[in-house]
Amino acid sequence: MTLLEVRNLSAGYGKVRALFDCSFGIDDKEFVVLLGVNGAGKTTLLRALSGTIRSSGEIAYMGSDLQGMPPERRLQRGIAQIPQGRGTFTEFTVDENLTLGATIVSDRRQVRLDKERWYERFPRLRERRSQLAGKLSGGEQQMLAVARALMSRPKLLLCDEPSLGLAPVITREIFAIFKELRDIDGMTLLVVEQNADLSLKFADRAYVIEAGHIVAGGSASAILADEHIQKSYLGD
Ligand code: ATP
C-alpha cells in the first residue's frame, strides 16, 4: 500500500530553485534511502515533506494532500523529521529530550509507556537518562534524536544524514536500528544518506537525486549493483 505519493514537487530558497518536479512514492512500512552528493537537494526534499519550507506540487499522504499544511499538523498526522545535526537539546537531559519529543501527545500515561518502550529498545539511553544530551557521544546523540522523534508516535520517519560525523561502525548500528523500526514497529522510513554502500545494505529501496532532479530509483540491491548510477551520481 502506498503511504506517500509525491508528484511534481518543486521548492527553493528565494529565487534559487533547489528541487525540480520530483515525483516518487513510498509504500507503507518501507525503508527508503535518498542518495545524492552534497548540494543535490536531499535536505530540501525532506524539508518540503515535513513542511518546514514551502513547496509546490502534490504531497499525497494516506490519501490526502499535505500541501499548505503547517509542520505541526504534519507531525500530528505522523510525519516526524530528524534534522541534520540531530537537533537534540544539549542543555537538557536525555529524559527531558524524550519528554520534549512528546509535546503533541496529551496522554501523560502514554508518554510514560512510550519512554519505557524506547528505553527498553535503547538501553544506553536508559543508562544515561539523567545526563545532559550534550555529554553523549555522537552515536548516542543520534540514537537520542531517533528516540525523541519516536516519542511523537510517527508513522513516517524522515531522517537527514544520520551518519554525519559518525564512525562507520556506529553508522551501521544506527541503520540496524532503522531496520528494526521497520521490522518490529512497522515504521516507514525515508533516510537521506551520502554513504550509499552502507545504507543500501539495510534499506529496501532507494532514490537518487542530482541537482534537484530524481534521476534513478529502484530496489536497494539493484542500485547497489548499478555501476552507471554509482559512477554518475554517487561519486563512486
Ligand atoms: P548536503 O548533503 O550538503 O546537506 P543536500 O543534498 O541536502 O546537501 P540541499 O541542502 O537540499 O542539498 O541543497 C540544495 C541546493 O539548495 C544547494 O544548491 C544549496 O546551496 C541550496 N540551499 C540549501 N539551503 C539553502 C538556503 N537556506 N538558502 C539558499 N540556498 C540554499
First to last CA, the chain: 33
One DSSP character per residue, 183-194 reads HHH--EEEEEES
**What per-residue confidence (pLDDT) applies to 220?**
95
Tell me, which fold does domain 1-78+200-236 have in CATH?
Rossmann fold (3.40.50)
- The residue whose CA is least distant from atom 26 of ligand 1 is 13
**What per-residue confidence (pLDDT) applies to 57?**
97
- The residue whose CA is least distant from atom 25 of ligand 1 is 13
Residue 46 alpha carbon, nearest atom of ligand 1? 11
**What per-residue confidence (pLDDT) applies to 2?**
93
**What per-residue confidence (pLDDT) applies to 228?**
87
Which helix (H) or strand (E) segment holds residue 58: the answer is strand 55-61
- The residue whose CA is least distant from atom 3 of ligand 1 is 38
Cβ atoms of 3 and 53 closer than 8 Å: no
Spell out the residues 6+ positions from residue 194 whose beta carbon is closer than 8 angstroms to its own.
35, 36, 37, 38, 161, 163
pLDDT along the chain (236 residues), means of 10: 96 95 97 94 96 96 93 95 87 96 94 96 96 94 96 96 92 95 96 92 96 96 90 76
Cβ atoms of 111 and 99 closer than 8 Å: yes
Q: Ligand 1 pocket check: which of 9, 10, 15, 16 to mutate, most ligand atoms within 8 Å of Cβ?
A: 16
- Ligand 1 midpoint to CA 84 (Å): 12
Q: What is the interface pTM, i.e. ipTM, of the complex?
A: 0.95
Joined grid coordinates for residue 179:
531496520
Strand 64-65 versus strand 16-27 pairing type: unpaired
- The residue whose CA is least distant from atom 18 of ligand 1 is 39
Burial 221-236 (b: 16+ CB within 10 A, else e): eebbebeebbeebbee
**What per-residue confidence (pLDDT) applies to 236?**
62
Residue 43 alpha carbon, nearest atom of ligand 1? 7
One DSSP character per residue, 12-29 reads EETTEEEEEEEEEEEETT
Tell me how many degrees the CA angle 81-83-85 measures, rounded to the nearest 5: 155
Residues with CB under 6 Å of ligand 1 are 13, 16, 18, 36, 38-44
- Ligand 1 midpoint to CA 118 (Å): 32
- The residue whose CA is least distant from atom 30 of ligand 1 is 13
Cβ atoms of 4 and 59 closer than 8 Å: yes
Q: Ligand 1 pocket check: which of 10, 19, 37, 42 to mutate, most ligand atoms within 8 Å of Cβ?
A: 42
